[in-house]
Chain A
Amino acid sequence: MIVELGHFTLILAFAVSIFQTVVPLVGAHKGWPEWMAAAAPAASAQFLLTAVSFGALTFAFVTSDFSVALVTANSHTLKPLLYKITGVWGNHEGSLLLWVLILTLFGAMAAWFGGNLPPRLRARVLGVQSSIGVAFFAFILFTSNPFLRLESPPMNGGDLNPLLQDPGLAFHPPFLYLGYVGLSMAFSFAVAALLEGRVDAAWGRWVRPWTLAAWLFLTIGIGLGSWWAYYELGWGGFWFWDPVENASFMPWLISAALLHSAIVVEKREALKSWTILLAILAFGFSLIGTFIVRSGVITSVHAFANDPERGVFILFILAFFMGGAFLLFALRAGAMEAKGVFGIVSRESALVLNNVLLAVSCFVVFIGTIWPLLSEMFFDRTLSVGPPFFNAAFSPFVFVLAVALPIGSVMPWKRASIGRAMRQQLPAAVLAVAGGLLAYAVFTGHSAIGPVFIALAVWLVAGAVVDLFTRTGRGALGARLSRLTRLPRADWGKAVAHAGFGLTLFGVAALTTYESEDIRIARLGEAFDVGPYEITLTAVREHEGPNYIALMGTVEVARDGDLVSTLHPERRFYPVAGMPTTEAAIDNGVSRDVYVVLGEPQQGGFALRTYIKPWANWIWGGSIIMALGGLLSLSDRRYRVAAGARRQAEPKGVPAE
């Protein structure tokens, strides 16, 4: 019954989305206020209906209703509750439902917080947003219905893929989708602006928080995914340039470019048509990502739902929205003349450089990802494009970006001097060189690329500190420090995000250059050295989990005779899915991870792999700090001014909080 209710509300949401596409857009075109005003309540209704539908599916999973085909295929009564819930989106149909839930959530938020938008723009934004909903509701209902029943329900289900039975599944996809789908708002604003035929500073101010929110969710989502792939074996480590990883990275790069160019629109009324183009592209790459993950056209370690027919449907959606938006862009972009003028050396031009580098690096990732496909189609060469290509082709862009960033970040608007900016960043440069030399001296005998990128990382972090400090103006140190606390949150956000980028770069450089590995047959009780650590496999015993059985090793990690940590790597077997998995055990640390993997029993011992992964956690720590910077920037006063002004206009009578 509840399942049918979910199915029904999904169909209703589909109907509402059609209404919300047609009525406000017609209203905006004709100038009918009532028709335009219909958009906001429709957006709320659409979200609530989809939420009920999602709740119904979750209910079916939690209660293990095996009359639902999807539950049978992806769940089992013995599965822990957490994985019953996360199993809702651990499959194609359910994850799409989560996708539209977030899509309608963003639409509803635009309706709730968009009170300060001009009514016509607001109606158009909500109409366009809803048209995306129409496409995806149709996709779900006609090709991937999660509510299909089985005629004769089995006693139990087939269990979720054991690799997905991990807390990572609880957080990684929702954040990633918040990012992917959040970019639909930027797209809707861009198309609405094209329909309006004008883009001004106010548009820049409205679109930027949405982009910032999408970007920060994407940052967290990718960071979590990278962390998950790091500790889950068989997924190629923290970053593997796998097509699915690239699919999330491309919108991230474009949205990073977009949120920088939107600053130029907001502050200087320039780069308008370019910003519109980026907003369209960012969502385009989100759709391409959806296509890559679900079509099975490109092989990946992370794809779990592969169906070419569904791929074709997504391809049509992609072609429709991108084709329509680009056509509109070609017709209307010419009307958007820039107003602000600026010198060749200025913050504007630094942001243009940022955009060129980010957009071209995204293009490199894109062509590398689809090259196997193109090559087979047009040149009849079946080949692979793997990490060696991406490392070689992508790193130069990171290098240039990292070199230029601290200098560009201290440049003033309109007119700047490279010499002056470099003088301001001199302390950061000195620290960077010192950091690079230190890395070179401590780790002799490794590739020279490591120290170079470590120097760049120091340059970025120190450069962010300098940037923040120069914002305090002149005067005594004490006065400047006290002014530091009163700087706008946007300034803090910028510095924190840039420093986070530096920390991530540091983690990546240190891990990839200085990782050490040991593979051997370990006999019980026999100690051996890996780097500065003494490793002992003390016991291997059987262990029973809720829905698996395992061999669990006990590994003692000691340093200079003191026990640092006791680790328990496992080899699990999931009887229902009939699948074995290997669970690494990790001792997390600030400056290194000790990473232990238990292997086969052989020759009177067990195969044991030990890795020392230096500074690994900084990769994800940096991502979180980047996202934190985005959050700080998002909480800046200027985005709340309009909301505050509206609140004041309301009749008083309730005391302030």
Chain B
Amino acid sequence: MKRLLLILCLLASPLWAVEPDEMLADPVLEERARDISAGLRCVVCRNESIDESNADLARDLRLLVRERLVEGDSDDEVVDYIVERYGEYVLLRPTLTGSNLVLWLAGPGMALIGLGLAFGYLRSQSRRKAEGEAAPTGLSDAEQARLRQIMED
């Protein structure tokens, strides 16, 4: 019974990420294949690249990437080939085109705005200091009275 379960286990267990039999003999090509597949999303998984996914489809894509590389495609050509078939969704690094510019420029843009606002604030601060503005105590009359009472106690 236990042995039967174990056999079942082996049958049911997933292939885990890159398998030795998928790998290319040429280490340079294999390295390129790994780099490319780390940037491609497995379309049936939750959020994994094909390089680390154990889904059958991911395996097919890994083999496809290697096939194209062996046939002499450049890295970009391989990626374009996959994107053509599976759509933009497979790219883990969104392209720098069209509406995606908003995504890529949001960070630097926000940093500029933030630094600008901060600098404006700091300058107004230091200008106030130059004017020697007296700092208000911020206490209401009732609180002033209470303060006096505490001091007298």
Contacts and interface: CB of A to CB of B under 8 A. Distances in A.
Interface in B94-153: 94, 98-100, 103-104, 106-107, 110-111, 114-115, 118-119, 121-123, 125-126, 128-129, 133, 135-136, 138
Given A301-B48, A341-B128, A360-B107, A378 B99 contact: yes
Interface in A513-552: 519-521, 542, 544, 549, 551
B92 A364 contact: no
A573 B5 CA distance: 8
A418 interface: no
B47 A571 contact: no
Interface in A553-608: 571-573, 575, 578, 580, 582, 597, 599-603, 607
Nearest to A578: B12
Contact of B6 (A242, A371, A549): A549
Interface residues of B, number: 59
Contacts, number: 181
Contacts of B12: 573, 578, 580
Contacts of B92: 384-389
Given A360-B107, A368-B103, A383 B88 contact: yes
Interface stretch (B16-24, B61-69, B70-78): B16-24
B8 interface: yes
B143 to A, nearest CB: 10
Interface in B72-96: 87-94
A571 B123 CA distance: 63
Nearest to B113: A360
Contact of B100 (A299, A375, A573, A599): A375
Contacts of B100: 375, 381, 383
Contacts of B23: 519
B39 to A, nearest CB: 6
Contact of B138 (A198, A363, A383, A394): A198
A519 B111 CA distance: 42
Contact of B91 (A383, A519, A551, A580): A383
A344 B133 CA distance: 16
B16 A301 contact: no
Interface residues of A, number: 76
Nearest to A380: B99
Given A519-B18, A575-B5, A393 B107 contact: yes
B115 to A, nearest CB: 6
Contact of A381 (B49, B88, B111, B135): B88
Interface string A279-313: 00000000000000000000111010000000000
A331 interface: no
Contacts of A359: 114
B21 A602 contact: yes
B125 A338 contact: yes
Given A243-B47, A299-B46, A384-B90, A379 B135 contact: no
A573 B3 CA distance: 12
A340 interface: yes
Contacts of B118: 349, 352-353, 355-356
Nearest to A383: B88
A397 interface: yes
A80 interface: no
A301 B53 CA distance: 11
Contacts of B136: 337, 339
A300 B54 CA distance: 16
Contact of A233 (B16, B39, B87, B138): B16
User: Among the interface residues A301, A352, A597, which one has the most CB atoms of the partner chain B within 10 A?
Assistant: A352
A456 B48 CA distance: 30
A200 B136 CA distance: 12
Contacts of B98: 379, 381
Given A299-B46, A342-B129, A544-B2, A382 B88 contact: yes
Interface of B: 2-3, 5-6, 8-10, 12-21, 23, 39, 41, 45-49, 52, 54, 87-94, 98-100, 103-104, 106-107, 110-111, 114-115, 118-119, 121-123, 125-126, 128-129, 133, 135-136, 138
A-B interface, 9 closest residue pairs, ranked by CB to CB distance from nearest? A386-B92, A573-B9, A388-B93, A341-B129, A580-B13, A364-B107, A379-B99, A356-B114, A339-B135
10 contacts: A337-B136, A343-B126, A344-B126, A379-B98, A384-B91, A386-B39, A392-B93, A519-B20, A549-B9, A602-B21
